[in-house]
Structure 1
């Protein structure tokens, strides 16, 4: 199993993440600065808020939902979702 960490930066350095692989699979841990973002998925993602909050418009939903510290939401593969960040927020994303 690879112990190499991958570092990614998106949206002009407003979102940064560190990717890892371990016995639980592939994950990223990251931080989002204040702003609005659109993400696309290539596999199922489990997004957990570690600190702060994310206001999310999930695929096929009309309403925005706010997820706070300890909350998790799931986005299926090959979907797009929008995120509004009102305060700098840390997250964990696990991929399946």
Structure 2
């Protein structure tokens, strides 16, 4: 059964579900800046819009547009800037 979570004063909404092979979330981020933490390996794909991301141990910001993905190892923090409302799909585990 999918579950809905809200973060950052309801500016990020996430729906958790189980794919055929992995747990996942799909969600929407409003315009803003956020810091997320991981508890396991994540692959995040931008579905709509764009996310500008500062990955762990990286001083540079990288922009990921719709259709592009990035990964984050477990137990890491990463920062995200959103300039237009954007949707994402996040798969958990390797």
TM-score range, shorter chain: over 0.9
Q: Runs of 5+ in structure 2 lacking a partner? A: none
Shift of 1:23: 1.6
Cα distance in structure 1, aligned partners of 2:19 and 2:67: 21
TM-score norm. by structure 1 comes to 0.95
Query: Where in structure 1 do 4 or more consecutive aligned residues deviate above 2 Å?
Result: none
- Backbone CA RMSD of aligned residues: 0.5
Alignment correspondent of 2:66: 69
Q: Runs of 5+ in structure 1 lacking a partner? A: none
SS in 2 for 1:59: coil
The count of aligned residue pairs is 93
Cα distance in structure 1, aligned partners of 2:72 and 2:9: 24
Cα distance in structure 2, aligned partners of 1:37 and 1:14: 10
Shift of 1:25: 1.1
